[in-house]
Amino acid sequence: MSNSHFFHKDYLEKILDECLNKTLGEVDKNNVFDKAKGKPKITGIAGDVIEQSVLGYPADTRQEPDLDIDGIKTELKTTGIKYKNNKKEFVAKEPMSITAVSPDTIVNEKFSDSNFWHKIEHMLFVYYLYDSPTTVKSSQYANFPIKGYQFHEFNSEDVEILKNDWKLVRDFIIGLQKEYENYEDEYPRISYELRPSLMYIDTAPKWPNRPRFRLKRKIVSNIIQKHFGETLEQLPKKYTSYSEIEETCHKLSEEYGGKTIGELIDLLEINVNTINKSIGEQIIVKMFGGNSKKMQNIELFNKLGIIGKTITLTENKTRKEDMKLFTIDFDEIVSEECKFEDSQFYDYFANNKFLCIIFQKPYADSKRIEDKFVGFKMINFDEQFIQRDVRQTWLKIKYLIINNKLQDVISLNKEGKPIKNKNGEIRRAPNFPKSSEGNVFVRGTSTTSDVKPLNINGIQMYYQQIWIKGLYIVEKLNNESYI
């Protein structure tokens, strides 16, 4: 007999329709938020409200799906969404926890019979808008509105990817149990050794804390954006593994290797007015059969976190140019409750891959249109680099702001003299980590030097981006073979 809570779908839709655009506090008829009084954090408070006050059943931690909807076992997930930078579209607040990674159980499971598959086969998402730039106390979740709900099933292509991911985890655990007498000592490797190979899922936290399967934030964001009407371009070919993507890259390198940017523009029929660095992304998209200018407008690359980067080697096959990555979310970074592993910094480096399209200049003063296509390389950031270099920069930024150590410092040239902008003003910059201090550093950018829209601790500044040192990228590229 099923222990899931039974609902007819039409009745469930009626209940949820009545909640739309109401806050979690307004629908909390059973006063679930009372338990949050005086407590800064209660995990899953939004889900408790939907379960106990909207649907009327107590919370439980069983591995069986929560609901029985007209005979279909369905997992309920109350999911936080946040505005993207444009304040119009939504992204996932965080990865979506699914179920425990149980080493003693998973080794005897098949995917179709696994707890993981039973949890994700049929899902009901209830979306609430985490409408705050900073972390709030649990009681303040009462102010967040319910923006939508969605009955979700993964398509056959997604199921194949999820199955492959799950099998990677299962087979890795089986291997550890066979190879090591004290195999539990090896379990911390589950959460970091498999990360570069997993497409849709990851596992967290790290052993000895019992890890859970999670849908990556990018995957959850992709589901959310589709539901709320954002459209991304589909490529003509389907891909179910990173190896299939790399196989296409290899074929493209064989087909187009040695061609100049000018020749590629003609061959691929790319409409372009000016040839700048962004042409590399357009070339990648066209090679894969797409039409968008940005790789993040392609669904495949968007949900897998594959970011296009153009690398131009000198005529001597070297490169020292630093690489800009992402704009810092300072509201998150100063939050006392945000741990590094849950941060924008960790998520970016852990869950994105750089697909580098590599060109080479034929001679020192050649124009970009003459650069020749060499091939592709894929860059992943390992856990050691993330925990050492990225964490160090994250901690330094956090320390400077929280402890009021942030300063607006005059920028000096090699002779120690103040640098002046084109408007004659002396250039100044906050004392965030610089490239001289490590591989991951901060640099501000703006369209004009006299506009500083950001104010941190009373200091006006440009929007601040995370950069990675060019010499480190060269080292990474040298250690990677062409795809």
Cα(111)–Cα(93) distance, integer angstroms: 28
CA gap 204, 99 in Å, rounded: 11
HSE value, Cβ hemisphere, 13 Å, CA-based, for 421: 13
Digit-coded pLDDT (tens) for 127-166? 999 998 777 889 999 999 999 999 999 999 999 999 999 9
- Under 8 Å between Cβ of 336 and 347: no
Residue 325 · residue 472 · CB < 8 Å: no
Can you tell me the distance from the alpha carbon of 442 to that of 462, in angstroms, rounded to the nearest whole number? Answer: 11
What local confidence, expressed as pLDDT, does residue 2 receive?
56
pLDDT tens figures, 322-347: 999 999 988 888 877 778 988 889 99
Contact (CB, 8 A) for 224 and 148: no
d(CA 389, CA 381): 11
Question: Mean of the per-residue pLDDT values for the chain?
Answer: 91
User: Three-state SS for 255?
Assistant: helix
Residue 337, number of CB atoms within 10 A of its CB: 12
Tell me if residue 378 falls in helix, strand or coil.
Answer: strand
Compute the Cα dihedral for 470, 476, 482, 483 and give only its sign. negative
Query: 71 and 8 in contact (C-beta within 8 Å)?
Result: no
DSSP secondary structure, 34-101, as one string: GGGTT-S--TTHHHHHIIIIIS-------SS-SEEETTEEEEEEEEEEEE-TTSSSEEESS-EEEEE-
Q: Which of 380, 457, 449, 469 is nearest to 197 (CA)?
A: 380
- Supply angle C-alpha 57, 227, 343, rounded to 5: 80
Distance CA 47, CA 59 (A): 8
Model pLDDT, residue 273: 84
The per-residue pLDDT for 87 is 72
DSSP SS3 for 357: strand
- Reference 303, options 236, 251, 233, 247; nearest CA is 233
β-bridge pairing 201-204 and 146-152: unpaired
pLDDT at res. 362: 92
CA distance 366 to 315: 9
* Distance from C-alpha of 89 to C-alpha of 138, rounded to nearest angstrom: 25
Query: According to CATH, what is the number of the domain 5-227?
Result: 3.40.600.10
Locate tokens 């889900």: which residue?
Answer: 47
Residuewise pLDDT in 10s, the chain (483 residues): 456 789 999 999 999 999 999 999 999 999 999 998 877 788 889 999 999 999 998 876 667 888 999 999 999 999 999 998 767 789 999 999 999 999 999 999 999 999 999 999 999 999 999 998 777 889 999 999 999 999 999 999 999 999 999 999 999 999 999 999 999 999 999 988 999 999 999 998 888 888 999 999 999 999 999 999 988 999 999 999 999 999 999 999 999 999 999 999 999 999 988 888 889 999 999 999 999 999 999 999 999 999 999 999 887 767 668 999 999 988 888 877 778 988 889 999 999 999 999 999 999 889 999 999 999 999 999 999 999 999 999 999 999 999 999 999 888 777 778 777 777 677 788 999 999 999 999 999 877 767 788 899 999 999 999 999 988 998 899 999 999
Whether the CB-CB separation of 223 and 187 falls below 8 Å is answered with: no
Whether the Cβ atoms of residue 266 and residue 358 lie closer than 8 Å to each other: no
Residue 125 CA to residue 149 CA, distance in Å, equals 5
